[in-house]
Copies of this chain bind each other. A is one copy, B any other.
Amino acid sequence: MGKKKAAVTLHDVANKTGVSVSTVSRVLAGKEYISPRTRQKVMATVAEMNYSPNAMARGLKSGQSNMIALVIPSIHNLMFPVLTRGVEDTARKNGYMVILCNTDEDTDAEKGYITKLRNSWVDGMIFATMLPDSHYIRELRQSGFPVVLTSRAYDKTIDAVVIDNVSASYDATCYLIGKGYRRIAFAMGPDFQLYEDRFQGYCNALKENGIPFDERLVMHETDGVNSFAGLIRKMIEEQGKPDAVFASTDNRAIVIMRTLYDMGFRIPDDIAVMGFDNVDFSSLVEPPLSTVSQPLYDIGATATRRLIHQIRAVRNTGVLDPPVVEQLETHLLIRQST
């Protein structure tokens, strides 16, 4: 069989310069106690031979890869491109690269990534998935591996960056009620804590304002976001039109808006619509969507900073710092759909 063209190594550079490998290594590491002349000569050959260090050898030696993994449901979901930029920008600024892992919210896929990556491809992992409690993630953390969660906080035993879904959702619902809407439908997501919380906030607001909760006004996603096209249609046919719809994500809100539009309703005149997330596109739809703005980029950036902090803690002290759950602020963004 053939073999790959051998890359130039430290050894080659040393030979050519007429010094030892360790000298070259020192020069490259910017160590002191190197004579200017030697340094200069080495730098010259390095440039001449176009040498660049073998990262895997370096990693094997140092036990660090300077890579982190970002585990998300799917980059296809509009929440994540923004969060991902927050992660990547922060990582790069600190000398880390990021490996992207799409799980489609599949527990086995998540587990697969963990077992594959923990053993030294990556120095730490960020989980932005919404899966319920995962044994593997706890175990990772317990074994001293840096892990940061977003979108879920477990029980504060793991570092996390979150928002207060219950109160954000409560505020949004109160706003709708304040505008005079009474029959407020809710578009529920799959069975994740995240959506339970948003639903809870909605219920709390209803109760505090003396509005009876009506189970028939909550739509449960059956088969992906698009199922809401059918759900809202069915609800209106059976229950009559609601005054407003509060969707647990912008994606759901937008699908609902389109359907409402197709059915001939005007927004917000006939029915108001409120979203959650403030995904990029929410300002571009017609009418621009009122929503709960979540600092997606910042969540990514904060999670990454925390992760890198923990990576350094492990390197320096041998153990992880105690976990911290950081809560970031959301705010109600009123545009024209309410």
The one of B7, B100, B258, B318 in contact with A98, judged by C-beta atoms closer than 8 angstroms, is B100
Chain A interface: which size bin?
A: 35 or more
Flag whether A85 is at the interface (Cβ < 8 A).
Answer: yes
Contact between B286 and A261, CB atoms less than 8 A apart = yes
Flag whether A4 is at the interface (Cβ < 8 A).
Answer: yes
Contact between A85 and B75, CB atoms less than 8 A apart = yes
In this complex, what residue of B is CB-closest to A281? B281
Flag whether A217 is at the interface (Cβ < 8 A).
Answer: no
Q: Work out how many copies of this chain go into the complex.
A: 2
| Pairs A-B, 9 closest by C-beta atoms | A2-B318, A286-B286, A52-B119, A56-B59, A56-B60, A2-B317, A100-B100, A75-B81, A55-B121
Given contacts A5-B143, A97-B116, list 14 more A-B pairs with CB under 8 A.
A2-B316, A4-B144, A5-B144, A7-B119, A54-B60, A56-B56, A56-B59, A67-B121, A75-B75, A76-B81, A76-B82, A88-B100, A97-B99, A97-B117
Flag whether A65 is at the interface (Cβ < 8 A).
Answer: yes
Contact between B85 and A102, CB atoms less than 8 A apart = yes
Which A185-223 residues sit within 8 Å CB-CB of chain B?
none
A75 / chain B contacts, CB cutoff of 8 Å: 75, 81, 84-85, 88
Which A258-300 residues sit within 8 Å CB-CB of chain B?
258, 261, 280-281, 284-286
Nearest chain B CB to A101 CB, angstrom units: 8
Contact between A55 and B120, CB atoms less than 8 A apart = yes
Known: A102-B85, A261-B286, A286-B286. A60 touches B60 (CB 8 A): yes
In this complex, what residue of B is CB-closest to A114? B52
Flag whether A118 is at the interface (Cβ < 8 A).
Answer: yes
Nearest chain B CB to A190 CB, angstrom units: 20
In the assembled complex, the Cα of A112 lies from the Cα of B85 at a distance in Å of 17
Nearest chain B CB to A88 CB, angstrom units: 5
Flag whether A26 is at the interface (Cβ < 8 A).
Answer: no
What per-residue 1/0 map shows which CB atoms of A41-55 lie under 8 Å from chain B? 000000000001111
The one of B65, B85, B102, B316 in contact with A1, judged by C-beta atoms closer than 8 angstroms, is B316
A120 / chain B contacts, CB cutoff of 8 Å: 7, 54-56
